Amino acid sequence: MSVSLNTLRNLNIGIIPTITDGTDKLVLSNLLGNAQSRTNIVATIANLVKVNNFDGIDLDFENFAFIDGNMTWNATRPRWVAFVKELSASLHADKKVLSITAPVDFDPVTKRKGYTVYDWKNIAPYIDRLRIMTYDYSTSTVGPIGPLIWVEDAVKYATSVIPASKIFLGVPGYGRDWVVKVVGTCAPADAKVINTKIKAATFVMRDAISLATGYGATPQYMEKEGEVTFTYTKTFPGFLADGTPTSCTATRTAWYQDSKSYVARANLVAKYRLGGIMAWTLGMEDAATMPSVRSYAQTIAPDQVVVTLVTDKSETEFGQPISVKTLFTLPDNQPIANLPLNIEARNSDGTWRKIYSGVTAIDGTLGISTLLAGNTALHAVSESSWERLAGYSKDININFARKIVVTAPTSAVHGREIVISGFIQPKESGVKLTLERLIGSGYKEVTMKNSIISDLDGRFTLTHVEIDDGFATFRVTSTATGNSALGYSNNFIISIR
């Protein structure tokens, strides 16, 4: 199994195995009804997913529907919901997917037969996918495998109780072949298997054409059902018990889905904005089917969103606004109008925060002016929808400089201490500040007692002594931190006498 899993992972294909119920009647229901055994099952499944690094798990527990009997459903339903809720919490804690495969259900108002035991409405908040078994409409009597109207009715109900993006409708890779008429007298051995009461034979889609042509039949696509059918006859010669020659001719009718059928169901994906389709079982289909589905899927696939964010400057300081402009387009440069978006900022703590929400103009643009309070990374994002993928711009880094406000005398006496005070904005404690003097063509630090640290209000006091008379030019600098670049005050001049 490890070789197959590695192959899938190398192809970036998610791995979500299916667990089926192989227990006897009511065994699983009763296990889920006991809190301890339910918790044990949850732990076992979660561990299976974790140990094998699966992307999630799918539950295909059909015994509730087809073995236990509908008289047990009222008891099973709350047990099932409690189990799904617990398993969901465990899987989601590890960022794993919970998928449920279930037979069809319909709006209760219609009073149609549906498998209500799976309680789609109440498991909806906890599951990531519902894979509906929209097949096996006809089993004991001849007819389509999953007629379109029946499929759509199940989808309509599902979308009324579950987010459409979680829903996947099922397509069968097999067909059924019923005996609908027998003429003549069959040999005793043939009579046991050639009669209208026997169970339908099954065949895989890829063999359908050869089955039909082998008996001279012509398959016909039925638009209403969205399926293919054909009828053929087969004669069985033999002998009666007394040795008398005999024969019988069986008329058989087959139904199956082909590539056109799959695309018809993919149309429902587009119509109801579903998550997609799922095939039972992959590999049964003929060579034309998956290319046809893929071609159609590409026409309804969500568009890629190209996001550009630009700013009018790469550096700013406290109180100085920065202009941010965004552009959202399709890959062919077509602008996307009325697209909801967020502009987000990340400071030194590493957390992205929304600073603006809006919608694009008709030309796909949106612009804002904003004030920053520290070194900041900016980007623009749009959420995914059925029509479009999520869009992300590149991060733009903006360096931020504090504003340093200085109060200094205009004149001072040489040889005496000069007191220079001020504050930084935004206020921040523990920032190292130094006094620098213009000497020649450059500034040099002249702070007494090395450096000063700002207090809780961002205030500071620096001192200095000048020896000679004249005019001295100074500035105050603040060291760079994770929240701010190196900062400088305006130059100021003190007359020394």
Burial of 410 (0-12, 13-18, 19+ CB in 10 A): exposed
Cα 278 to Cα 107: distance, rounded to the nearest angstrom: 22
Q: What pLDDT, on the 0 to 100 scale, is given for residue 169?
A: 97
Judge whether residue 256 has pLDDT over 90.
yes
Q: At 262, which amino acid appears?
A: Y
Q: Is the peptide bond before 141 cis (omega within 30 degrees of 0)?
A: no
Q: What pLDDT, on the 0 to 100 scale, is given for residue 451?
A: 62
What's the whole-number average pLDDT of the chain?
A: 94
The stretch 303-324 carries a mean pLDDT of 94
Q: What pLDDT, on the 0 to 100 scale, is given for residue 310?
A: 97
HSE on the CB side for 206, CA within 13 Å?
9
Judge whether residue 135 has pLDDT over 60.
yes
DSSP code for 425: E
Cα 134 to Cα 267: distance, rounded to the nearest angstrom: 14
Give 115-124 pLDDT, tens digit per residue: 999 999 999 9
Helices (H), 34-72: 35-51, 63-66
Give residue for tokens 């058989």.
Answer: 252
**Sorting pLDDT into bands at 50, 70 and 90, what band is 164?**
very high
Judge whether residue 428 has pLDDT over 90.
no
Give 324-369 pLDDT, tens digit per residue: 999 999 998 999 999 999 999 999 889 999 999 999 999 999 999 9
Cα 394 to Cα 377: distance, rounded to the nearest angstrom: 10
Q: Supply the DSSP string of 162-202, one letter for each residue.
A: S-GGGEEEEEESEEEEEEEEEEE---HHHHTTSSTTSPPEE
Cα 127 to Cα 122: distance, rounded to the nearest angstrom: 10
Q: What pLDDT, on the 0 to 100 scale, is given for residue 486?
A: 86
Q: Which tokens sit at 251? A: 């008329």
Q: At 401, which amino acid appears?
A: A
What are residue 235's DSSP bridge partners?
249
Q: What pLDDT, on the 0 to 100 scale, is given for residue 257?
A: 98
Q: Where are the beta strands (DSSP E) in 268-331?
A: 276-280, 306-311, 315-317, 322-329
| CB neighbours of residue 95 within 10 Å | 8
Contact between 172 and 103 (Cβ < 8 Å): no
Cα 182 to Cα 250: distance, rounded to the nearest angstrom: 4
Judge whether residue 447 has pLDDT over 80.
no
**Sorting pLDDT into bands at 50, 70 and 90, what band is 483?**
confident
Cα 304 to Cα 16: distance, rounded to the nearest angstrom: 26
Cα 451 to Cα 447: distance, rounded to the nearest angstrom: 6
Judge whether residue 282 has pLDDT over 60.
yes
Exposure string over 277-310, b if 16+ CB within 10 A, otherwise e? bbbbeeebbbeebeebbeebbeeeeeeebbbebe
What are residue 436's DSSP bridge partners?
445, 475
**Sorting pLDDT into bands at 50, 70 and 90, what band is 161?**
very high
**Sorting pLDDT into bands at 50, 70 and 90, what band is 105?**
very high
The stretch 171-195 carries a mean pLDDT of 96
Q: Which residues contact 376 (CB under 8 A, 6 or more apart)?
A: 345, 346, 347, 397, 398, 400
Judge whether residue 195 has pLDDT over 90.
yes
Q: Is the peptide bond before 426 cis (omega within 30 degrees of 0)?
A: yes
CATH class of the domain whose range is 306-400? mainly beta
- Percent pLDDT > 70 in the chain is 99
Q: What pLDDT, on the 0 to 100 scale, is given for residue 484?
A: 87
The stretch 412-429 carries a mean pLDDT of 91
What would the CATH number be for the domain defined by 402-496? 2.60.40.10
What would the CATH number be for the domain defined by 2-171+258-300? 3.20.20.80
Instruction: Give the CA dihedral 178, 179, 180, 184, nearest 10 degrees.
Output: 170
Judge whether residue 449 has pLDDT over 70.
no
Q: Which tokens sit at 351? A: 């957390």
Contact between 114 and 120 (Cβ < 8 Å): no
Pinpoint the residues of the chain covered by CATH 2.60.40.1930.
306-400
Pinpoint the residues of the chain covered by CATH 2.60.40.10.
402-496
Judge whether residue 448 has pLDDT over 80.
no
Q: What pLDDT, on the 0 to 100 scale, is given for residue 329?
A: 94
Contact between 359 and 332 (Cβ < 8 Å): no
Judge whether residue 450 has pLDDT over 60.
no
**Sorting pLDDT into bands at 50, 70 and 90, what band is 373?**
confident
The stretch 226-240 carries a mean pLDDT of 98
Judge whether residue 399 has pLDDT over 60.
yes
Pinpoint the residues of the chain covered by CATH 3.20.20.80.
2-171+258-300
The stretch 295-301 carries a mean pLDDT of 92
Judge whether residue 255 has pLDDT over 70.
yes
Q: Which tokens sit at 360? A: 């694009």
| CB neighbours of residue 198 within 10 Å | 11
